[in-house]
Structure formats: structure tokens, C-alpha cells
Chain A
Amino acid sequence: MDQLLYGIKALNPSQVIMFLTGGVLIYLAIKKEYEPMLLLPIGFGAILANIPYSSAISHDGFLALLFKAGILTELFPVLIFIAVGAMIDFTPLLQQPFMLFFGAAAQFGIFFTMAMAALFGFDLKEAASIGIIGAADGPTSIYVATKFARHLLAPISVAAYSYMSLVPIIQPPVIRLLTTPAERRIHMRPEFNIKISKTVQILFPIVITIIAGIIAPISVALVGSLMFGNLIRVSGVLDRLSKAAQNELANLVTLLLGITIGSTMTAEQFLNPATLLIIAMGLVAFIFDTAGGVIFAKILNLFLKNKINPMVGAAGISAFPMSARVIQKMAQQEDPSNFVLMQAVGANVAGQLGSIIAGGLILTLVK
């Protein structure tokens, strides 16, 4: 009889709270459709990890093995980047390379949050891992947190993916606070008549990898995998591989990544004040990313003849393509004849690059 009851006897209230937490994530995934591909596996992984004596996370449990093989080795984030690279069309960015600068400015939230985390008593590596939530890029957050603060991996991943799905709620109030209706109505000159040659499309991922690698060699795994995926896409001769990266690889690794991250959400690691602080600071990171992009655009407008709609600056965060859609929706709310979608997509794609560079620089600068 004891053998039948030993699981029940070992159950404690904190594990029940974690079941509920997992349940909330599953609810958000199914009912609200917030990043369901990740929040659902994370939620279920959390439940699996908190069942007393769970064989899934025991020494040779399948989730423990996946954690060692996919997270500790940084293999999953890198594979996800290959898939993401195969999905991204850089053409809007190549047509208007000026948008690159918004992808840089909108990384400000990372560094601001890092400083805030330091003020709250986190050490430098923990603060850097928390700040990188502002990359608005799950794989980059996981990559940096794995290297710097493995014990904070669960709350950082959950915060990163949750806030990415909440971009339509987080960004609009920040943008409205920082811009006037007149600024939000600014029409931007379209620059989409520029045709990009196949040669440029093929050279782009190669050259970017070399430049980023020389500036921050530690970022080569991140940038290189993203650009490898993109090279497969634009080469025109690897259509099957490109489709496999976009579909099978992306789906399989996302599935394993989500449930493995969820398995790190054990009650003893997750239920503490630090988790709440990390979740709160993730929000700060997204707010200051948005503010960084908008304020940068407003500063540029002081010098430019053809004004930029400052909302486009907010699309410089890496949450692709959600942020670009949010900006277009807001622009049309102010003026139904205003189309800034392609400019916002350009800034949004630049945000992908900016976030990876930021991740690489953090890994380089934090000792």
C-alpha cells in the first residue's frame, strides 16, 4: 500500500502551485493563443517536472536527457535559429537598409534592464541574463541564460516567450505616451521600387556572418546559424532543405525546446521572489526597448527632411512579425490611408539582427 501512496505522501503545496502555474500557461496557450507552440509544451513540462519522484526528470529521465543534450550544449537555440533564418525574408530590410538602425536602438531595454537587475541585487551574469529578455528573442535569451545563469533559465524563458506574445498589449500604450497624434500620422516615402539582385541576397548572409563574427566572435554560433538558414532559403537550389528547416526542423525543435524548458520549472527553482522580479523586469525590458526605438526615431526626425513615423522605431524589437503588425494597426487607427507596414517589417527584421548582435556583445562584454 505504501508503494501506491508514496507519490501522494511526497506531494507538497509548492508542487500543487506549480501544477496550477503549468495549467495557466496551457490555458493562455489554448484559450488566448499566446505563443501556443511554446507555452503549451512549457506548461506541460512544468507539470511533468513537479510530480513527486517524476521519472521524466530523474537522472536518466527523457527530459533530463533532452536538457543535457539540447540546452546545456546550446544545440536547441542554434537549431531554432537555422529554422528562423530559413523563414526570414530580408528583402524589406535590403530595400531600406536605413531601418537597420532601429534594430540597434530598440535593444536599449536589454542594457537598461540589466542595470535595474544589478540594482535589485543580482550579480553581473544574472543581471545580463535577465536583461537579455529584452532581446525579445527566445533562443537568444535561452542561449545567454544557459551560459551565464542556468538556475534562472526557467523564469527567463517563460518571461521572454510570454512578453513576446504580449507585444500587442505592451507596445501601444508606450508608443502613445511617447508620440503625438500628428507624429503617428506621418506618412513615410515608400522605397519598394528598389529591386534586390539574387547576388546581394546570397552575399548578405555570408557577409553579415563575417562582420558580426569579427566584432563578437562568440556570436558566431547565433548569427552563423541564422544566416546559414537564410542562405539555404535564398540560394534557390536547396528548396527541399529550406522547407525542411522552416517546417520539420522548426516544429520538432520547438516542441522539444518548450517541454525541456518547462521541465526546469521545478517548485524549488521557480517559486521564489527572484522569479517575480525577473518576470517584472522582463516587462521593463520590453517597455524600454519600445521607448528606445521611438525616441531614436524622434531624434532622427530633428535632422531629417523626410520625417520618419516614430512608431516604426518601436518595430525595431525582435518580436517578428507581431511588432510590425501592431505598428501598422496603430498607424491606420490614426489615419486609415497610412501604410507603414513594409517600413515596420524592415525595422522588425533588423531587430532580429540587432538582438543577436546584442546577445553576442553581452557574452563578450560580461566577464
Chain B
Amino acid sequence: MDVFFETLRIMVEGMAGIFLAISLFFIVIKLMIRVFPEKNC
């Protein structure tokens, strides 16, 4: 059961990590689109 509880910890940290990374990607994409709009290129 120790391994099972360890997987639950990894599940929480893993999903949190994925959402953190994805949130950063989201912010960066939004920023890049604002800073470098199509018309300026």
C-alpha cells in the first residue's frame, strides 16, 4: 500500500505540475501574440 499512496502523491504533484507548465505556456503565448501581432511582421 505504500507504493499506492506514493502514486497518489505523484498524481497530485504531477497534475499540479502539468497545469502549472500549461498555465505558463498560456500566459507566454498570450503575451507573445500581444507583443508581436501579425501586422508588425
Contacts and interface: CB of A to CB of B under 8 A. Distances in A.
Dominant secondary structure of chain A at its interface with chain B: helix
B24 to A, nearest CB: 5
Dominant secondary structure of chain B at its interface with chain A: helix
Interface string A276-299: 000000000000000000000000
Instruction: Sort chain B's interface into a size bin.
Output: 20 to 34
Contacts of A127: 3, 7
Interface string A96-136: 01101101100110111011011100111001100100000
B4 A353 contact: no
B30 A97 contact: yes
Contact of B15 (A97, A108, A119, A203): A108
A200 B36 contact: yes
Contact of B4 (A119, A195, A357, A365): A119
Contact of B33 (A101, A196, A353): A196
A209 B2 CA distance: 34
Given A94-B29, A98-B26, A196-B33, A354 B6 contact: no
Contacts, number: 117
Contacts of B15: 104, 107-108, 111
A366 interface: yes
Instruction: Sort chain A's interface into a size bin.
Output: 35 or more
Contacts of B37: 197
Contact of B7 (A101, A124, A204): A124
Interface of A: 93-94, 97-98, 100-101, 103-104, 107-108, 110-112, 114-115, 117-119, 122-124, 127-128, 131, 194-200, 203-204, 207-208, 211-212, 215-216, 350, 353-354, 357-358, 361-362, 364-366
Given A111-B11, A207-B32, A365-B17, 4 more contacts: A98-B26, A104-B21, A108-B15, A353-B22
Please name the 4 residue pairs, one residue from A and one from B, whose CB atoms are nearest each other, closest first: A195-B38, A111-B11, A199-B36, A197-B41
